[in-house]
Structures are given as structure tokens and as C-alpha cells.
Amino acid sequence: MRMNFTLQQAAALVLVASMITGVIAVGWHMGTTAAVSSSASSSSIHLDQPEKKIAGTWDQKAAASYLDRRQDWWMEWPRAQRDHQTFCVSCHTAVPYALSRPSLRKALAEKAPSPNERRLLDNVTTRVRLWKEVAPFYTDADRGAYKTVESRGTESVLNALILASAQTGQLTADTRTAFDNMWAEQQTTGDKKGAWLWLRFNNEPWEADDSDFYGATLAAVAIGSAPGNYRAMPGIQNNIAMLREYLSRESASQTALNHAALLWAAAKLPGLIEPDRQKAIVVELLQKQQADGGWSLSALIGDWKRSDGTAQEEKSDGYSTGLITFALQQAEISPDNGQLKRGIAWLTAHQDKIDGYWPAYSLNKNKEHHISPETALFMNDAATSYAVLALTTDANHH
């Protein structure tokens, strides 16, 4: 169902959402309440501002070139290598690449997947076929307790997501196997019932204590993306019910960033959350928009501190702006919504036209404390992919 939000409706919902926030704030992720209250006053101002016209276009070829180069580097990086001549599938570079690179194909008049897309898909397919033989990405022996099961849970979701997103027509045997592997890793008891154990390395936003929730949203995206009406198969209805219950149970305590991922998942898997909850998330995300039309990652994550002790970046960035704009589009708010247009305008204006990327910043350390200049680009990799998804979706609206 399309949600044709007008600015007046959004403003009215802000008032409702702020009252709801007072009721549920105690259960929210530490620090989120402060972030909401500090941004609400400024956001309510620009809810009613006329949209700012920012002229400009973005360079699809430069974006594709950047993403291809970065995926090529990742697949060859010694630290990414795994057994059976495979490589680790990363949340910051490989997964966003798999989701976004096909979107550039039409713009660039490419007739087939890029060589790096093909290699990534072949890598995932190999690991799916050899699931009982390949070693986990990380093991308890080399990285500490629970890393074996966390690796299996994480990879099972990512494999299903990548293969399902790449398919049209009918589900292939490999994709079906990937989903079977995924369901086998779903937790069926305890406080994580319905979710998957997720890698924890004390790194936001993909490897922290709240990343189980993020992983569960990706599982929902995978299910909803699978062709052949996979989500209606009788044999997985109990699994989907457990997933839905988990996301509903844990939603109130999540950060705004995880809520953006939930909004995306709900658009892919109908019935995942209640319509009122979906609308409340839209309002929450619109409240967080900055005066320049973008979103800042550090304002979406509560009071998370960098491990290197440096201050968080507060300016708008490509990752949060790309992801939120894309999630709002998936939720089908009106393309004429002024705030959505400002998000698109921010993305259009902030691509590095020489190197093709969108800038973003680590929540865990500054550039100087990364392993290398190449690893310092991880957030740019994710930012560029989600910016591409948002901008190609916008192009399809016009």
C-alpha cells in the first residue's frame, strides 16, 4: 500500500510520535532518547520549510568504477581469504556491492553482470554447496568464544540475501540450499528466538551487540526478494512467524539506524510489521534529517563511543543518507515528499565526481587508526552502494 505522506501529515505524526516516545523511552537502546529529543526541535522546523532546489547530476560510470575497484581489492585482500579458494563476504563491501551493482547495469547499458559480480556470486555459490565442508569465517579457536556459531549465523543470512537478490524467475537449487542453511541457523529458543547469532566484534553498525536485529532484517529482505513466491511456501511459515515475532518484540529497544533497516525489510516482506509501526518509523527517520537534507550516522546510533577515543563525526554522510532515503522509497512514501526530495538532492550533490564514491565515517575509529588507507574506505563502500540504490530508485520514479 502506498503511503502518500504530505508534509502536513508528517508534521501531525511527529506530534503523535513524540507522545509515544515518552511512553516507550525507558525500554529504548541507551542514548536513543537523547538523540531523538535533541533533533526533534530542529527537524520540526524543516518539516515545514520549502524544499531547497540543488541542481546537479551524479556520475553512474564513476560510481560503478569505484564499486568495481573496491570489490576487486576486497576479493584479493589477504585478510579476506578463506579456505576452498573462497573469500569472506563482508557487510561493508561485498554485500552492498551485490545489492547495488546490478542497479547500474541499465544506466550503463551493460548486458550482463560485471566480472566482479560474477565472481562474488560464484564465491557465495561455492560456499553454499560446500556448507558442511567450508570453515566458518571465524572460529572460537582463533577469535574467541562463540565466533564459530556467530560466523555460521551471519554467513547463512548473507548467502541467502545475495543469491535471492540476484535471481529472477524461479528459485534455483543453490538459492534454495542457501535458505535451507539459513533456516537451520535460526534460533528457536531463548531471547534470540527467531533471529540468528551475529558476529560481534564491538563494531557498529554491523558487528555489535545490537547487530542480531540488523541481521534479522536482512533475513527478511532475503525472503521477500526471493523469486517464485518463496515467502508463501508452507514449510517456512513457522520460521517466518518466529522472525516476525522477534522483530516485533525487539523493535522498541533498537536504534533509529536499525529501524531504517526494519522499514526496508517490511517493504520487502509484507505483513512483517503493523502499518502504524511502519508510519511511526517513517516519522522517526524524518525527524532525524539534518538541515542540509542528509542524515548523520552518529545521530542514529545512540551514545555509541569510538574505540579509539576520537569524537564522532556529526555531519551528514552517504551511508545513513543513502540507506534511509532508500528505505523511505521502499516504504513508498510519495516521491513528491519534500524531505525525501532533499535527501535525494543531498546524495546528488555529494558524490566525489573524480573517484565516484560517497563519503561516510566509521563509528569505531578515525581514518588514522585504520589498518590501512584501503580499510579506511569501508564506510565509503557501503555509502556508495546505498546512494546508488536510492538514486536509481529515484530515477525509476520519474
Angle (CA) 98-69-124 rounded to 5° is 35
User: In the CATH scheme, what architecture does the domain 7-397 have?
Assistant: Alpha/alpha barrel (1.50)
Instruction: Say which DSSP state 29 is in.
Output: P
| Residue located via cell numbers 503511503 | 3
Cβ–Cβ < 8 Å for 123, 158: no
H-helix or E-strand containing 85? none
pLDDT tens for the 398 residues of the chain, in order: 444 444 445 444 444 444 444 433 333 333 333 333 333 333 333 333 444 434 469 999 999 999 999 999 999 999 999 999 999 999 999 999 999 999 999 889 999 999 999 999 999 999 999 999 999 999 999 999 999 999 999 999 999 999 999 988 889 999 999 999 999 999 999 999 999 999 999 999 999 999 999 999 999 999 999 999 999 999 999 999 999 999 999 999 999 999 999 999 999 999 999 999 999 999 999 999 999 999 999 999 988 898 888 988 899 999 999 999 999 999 989 999 999 999 999 999 999 999 999 999 988 888 777 777 788 889 999 999 999 999 999 877 66
Cβ–Cβ < 8 Å for 250, 273: no
pTM for the full model? 0.85
In whole angstroms, what is the distance from residue 269 CA to residue 277 CA?
14
Task: Quote helix, strand, coil % in the chain, to nearest 5.
Answer: 60, 0, 40
Q: Of 319, 299, 335, nearest to 377 (Cα)?
A: 319
Q: Of 148, 175, 154, 177, nearest to 164 (Cα)?
A: 175
- What does the pLDDT read at residue 39? 37
DSSP β-ladder status, 81-82 and 86-87: antiparallel
Strands (E) across the chain are located at 81-82, 86-87
- What does the pLDDT read at residue 385? 98
- Number of Cβ within 10 Å of residue 38's Cβ equals 10
Contacts of 273 (CB under 8 A, 6+ apart): 244, 247, 248, 251, 262, 266
In whole angstroms, what is the distance from residue 389 CA to residue 6 CA?
23
Q: Of 67, 66, 92, nearest to 375 (Cα)?
A: 92
Q: Of 268, 283, 335, nearest to 15 (Cα)?
A: 283
- What does the pLDDT read at residue 136? 97
346 alpha-carbon distance from chain centroid: 19
